[in-house]
Structure 1
Amino acid sequence: MAAEVLRVSVFLVFLVATVRILENLLPPELTSFHRPVPRVKIPADLPLRFRPDGTFKILQVADLHYGTGEGTRCRDVAAGEWASCSDANSTGFLARAIRAERPDLVVFTGDNIFGPSARDAAESLFAAFRPAADARVAWAAVLGNHDHESSLPRPELMPLISLMDRSVSLPDPPGVDGFGNYALRVAGARGSALANSSALRLYFLDSGDRELVAGRRTYGWIKPSQLRWLRAVAAGRRRETAAGLAFFHIPLAEVRGLWGKAIVGEFQEGVACSAVNAGALETMKGMGHVKAAFAGHDHLNDFCGDLGGVMFCYGGGFGYHGYGRPGWARRARVILAELGSAGVARVRTWKHLDDPALTLIDEQVLWEDGASSI
């Protein structure tokens, strides 16, 4: 009996030793010992919901233009800042803005990465959005005209973004042009009369990148199929009293008409919109509840103006690898929706500069129930 136990023990020692030797000799992909544990997405806290004080706060990040990290140099900064300036300045600004404002949602309005400078699109996207995920804040994104210029084509970007930690971005509806068209609802505060209702609707649209029209290259635009989808979404919620906000990258053609008009902020460069106008502004007006639209693309514009019933706001250039102007600080926009007794009663906005004090500028009311915006 003792001899049998000894033989079994020796065999087991030999077996374990053999396994360990094989583990060290064979490539990891051929063994089960090094197989990565499947990672599950960390979801955002849903549903999105107003705070007990009746507010819902959004931080808009326009044109982050992330490249590869600390190896990516900044553009259009003071000569003394260039040597030490990189993508880390952009993500550092994002982290500081999140800590200062504690938003309920961060919205990235396109050109989240700068494709020509991003060798691995997935790696750069994860790094660009990481400050929001690390802060445990829900976030959403749309695409710009540079996000697809790296290693992933446009159709693959939004499915990836929707699977990232804390992302509330959604897959595309069938039969609709573009990649990244979706709507989110924001419920009222817990315990309030609106707790089980949509108090705010957020619409996200893909404004495209570049296209050839009649032999001429132009920027993309929001297409008729997207507008039909938008109207259908709105029609399905006619019984709601929710206000609406829209987010996309490339500005509407009508924004050009704000030159010389009453605006809050700076109009420092031409509006780089499409030569094609499929009627996005008129669609939003016709929906009745869309109070404001927010875009990026033109980094040196950061103004808000009234487009005849729908307020339009630029975010202002956020990222340091995107073009800017030396001495003109990168900036972020904050949007605050405030509830009244029957729904959203007011929408306010302001901006933060990326300076030591995170200086707050251009605070204004975009919309107020029964009141003028500017």
Structure 2
Amino acid sequence: MWCSIFSFLLLILLLFLFRPLAEFPAAVPRVKRSAVLPLRFRHDGTFKILQVADMHYGNGAVTRCRDVPPAEAARCSDLNTTRFLARMILAEEPDLIAFTGDNIFGASATDAAESLFKAFIPAMQSKIPWAAILGNHDQESTMSREELMSFMSLIDYSVSQVNPSNGDLKRIDGFGNYNIMVKGAFGSELVNTSVLKLYFLDTGDREVVNGVRTYGYIKESQLAWLRNNSQLLRGSSEQVALAFFHIPIPEVRDLWYKEYRGQYQEAVACSSVNTGVLKTLVSMGDVKAVFMGHDHLNDFCGEIDGIWFCYGGGFGYHAYGRAGWPRRARVILANLKKGKKAWMGVESISTWKRLDNEELTKIDEQVLWSRE
């Protein structure tokens, strides 16, 4: 009897295992929803970027906020960061969202891919193109820096890149070195010409130099790529570029003794190594401003050798901050010059910040650069 039952069950199992493959439901591949490219200026001659610095996203609703007033602490989580991002997108309607590192806080993120996906949901839902780079905390969870950049490049509406095709460069340090070109407005002679260049650079996480641990920094291979890219993209049109990276360069510390706009509330946490980033940017001549993150209590802009260096200010609620000092975001606006018949090249770059309060208060509006 038991033998007969066993034989019957074995027959059923074999029939199941050798069913035609057509009887099994086919897996449907998930295709990335791509942004409309190329990026270009609007019909009113503007191009707006929303900078989001240091979201430090963890696991969502279960991840508690840091450094908020006691009355808010019980109800505060990563979802506050999500709401702030959604409100900023709705209020400013940017043409590009730039995430400048520490998008997730690796030590709190159980699954890096899931946390990244949750962190970028408002950007994906808006269908606005977005670009991201890594900070020094993103890789502390379950994915390497290369895997993180690859994953971010595959998310809906992302225009992020793992790294560029290097041309003559055999290798470029880091992951997340790339440029984005913004073309002129429809109806202008520059409609098919890149008039604004956006450089994104990976500043790494940590390094050991002469036995001493320090923050990461931009390497010579990256600077060589930057110089080469600047030369290749140089044409007869207006030369204007912006740069985005996470960890500030050492020269930003000197702004404590100079004029700046905004709040300088903590020491600049940079690398002990100076690889000549400032010298490179000055020699290129096209970069008018650099936008950084990393130091959450700094949101100032200051000029060094003709280039503005601006912090985004702390955005995320799981990131360290200061109770009573609202989380904030930076907005960057490029304006084209109006010609007799059509829009021309970039005429000015301005910026401001918005606070995460009921009014999304706008503060510290300033012109960073204008063509004389």
Question: TM-score if structure 1 supplies the norm length?
Answer: 0.90
Offset of 1:260 from its aligned partner? 2.9
Contact in 2 for aligned 1:198/1:242 (Cα 8 Å)? no
* Corresponding residue number in structure 1 for 2:345: 343
Cα gap change, 1:32 to 1:100, in 2 (>3 Å):
farther
Give 3-state SS (helix, strand or coil) of 2:115's partner.
helix
Cα gap change, 1:31 to 1:315, in 2 (>3 Å):
farther
Q: Which residue among 117, 121, 135 is the counterpart of 1:144?
A: 135
Alpha-carbon separation, structure 2, partners of 1:38 and 1:225: 37
Alpha-carbon separation, structure 2, partners of 1:35 and 1:276: 53
* Corresponding residue number in structure 1 for 2:315: 318
Q: Which residue among 294, 297, 305 is the counterpart of 1:297?
A: 294
Instruction: Determine if the alignment matches structure 1 residue 181 to structure 2 residue 177.
Output: yes
* Corresponding residue number in structure 2 for 1:17: none
* Corresponding residue number in structure 2 for 1:196: 192
Offset of 1:123 from its aligned partner? 0.5
Instruction: Determine if the alignment matches structure 1 residue 269 to structure 2 residue 266.
Output: yes
Alpha-carbon separation, structure 1, partners of 2:217 and 2:370: 29
Offset of 1:35 from its aligned partner? 4.2
Offset of 1:241 from its aligned partner? 2.0
Offset of 1:309 from its aligned partner? 0.7
Q: Which residue among 362, 366, 369 is the counterpart of 1:367?
A: 369
* Corresponding residue number in structure 1 for 2:87: 96
Give 3-state SS (helix, strand or coil) of 2:74's partner.
helix
Q: Which amino acid aligns with 2:227?
A: R
* Corresponding residue number in structure 2 for 1:255: 252
* Corresponding residue number in structure 2 for 1:51: 42
Contact in 1 for aligned 2:203/2:246 (Cα 8 Å)? yes
Q: Which amino acid aligns with 1:167?
A: S
* Corresponding residue number in structure 2 for 1:36: 27
Alpha-carbon separation, structure 2, partners of 1:95 and 1:344: 29
Q: Which amino acid aligns with 2:113?
A: A
* Corresponding residue number in structure 2 for 1:218: 214
Alpha-carbon separation, structure 1, partners of 2:298 and 2:323: 15
Alpha-carbon separation, structure 2, partners of 1:268 and 1:95: 27
Runs of 4 or more, structure 1, over 4 Å off, are none
Give 3-state SS (helix, strand or coil) of 1:117's partner.
coil
Give 3-state SS (helix, strand or coil) of 1:148's partner.
helix
Q: Which residue among 55, 60, 73 is the counterpart of 2:51?
A: 60
Q: Which amino acid aligns with 1:142?
A: I
Q: Which amino acid aligns with 1:345?
A: E
Offset of 1:36 from its aligned partner? 3.0
Alpha-carbon separation, structure 2, partners of 1:326 and 1:256: 24
Describe the superposition over 1:209-263 as per-residue Cα deviations: whole angstroms up to 9, x where unpaired: 0010001000000000000000000111221423100000001110000003111
Offset of 1:171 from its aligned partner? 2.7
Alpha-carbon separation, structure 1, partners of 2:161 and 2:22: 36
Give 3-state SS (helix, strand or coil) of 2:118's partner.
helix
Alpha-carbon separation, structure 2, partners of 1:331 and 1:50: 25
- Mapping of residues 73-92 of structure 1, within 5 Å: 73-92=64-83
Pairs aligned (count): 345
Alpha-carbon separation, structure 2, partners of 1:314 and 1:179: 22
Offset of 1:308 from its aligned partner? 1.2
Cα gap change, 1:76 to 1:189, in 2 (>3 Å):
same
Alpha-carbon separation, structure 1, partners of 2:348 and 2:307: 14
* Corresponding residue number in structure 1 for 2:239: 242
Describe the superposition over 1:282-330 as per-residue Cα deviations: whole angstroms up to 9, x where unpaired: 1111111100000000000000000111100000000000000000000
Q: Where does the alignment leave 5 or more consecutive residues of structure 2 unmatched?
A: 1-11
Give the aligned CA root-mean-square deviation in angstroms: 1.5
Give 3-state SS (helix, strand or coil) of 1:115's partner.
coil
Q: Which amino acid aligns with 2:186?
A: R
Q: Where does the alignment leave 5 or more consecutive residues of structure 1 unmatched?
A: 1-20
Cα gap change, 1:321 to 1:32, in 2 (>3 Å):
farther
Offset of 1:344 from its aligned partner? 0.6
Alpha-carbon separation, structure 2, partners of 1:32 and 1:304: 62
Offset of 1:194 from its aligned partner? 1.2
Alpha-carbon separation, structure 1, partners of 2:23 and 2:176: 38
Q: Which residue among 132, 151, 162 is the counterpart of 1:171?
A: 162
Offset of 1:31 from its aligned partner? 8.6
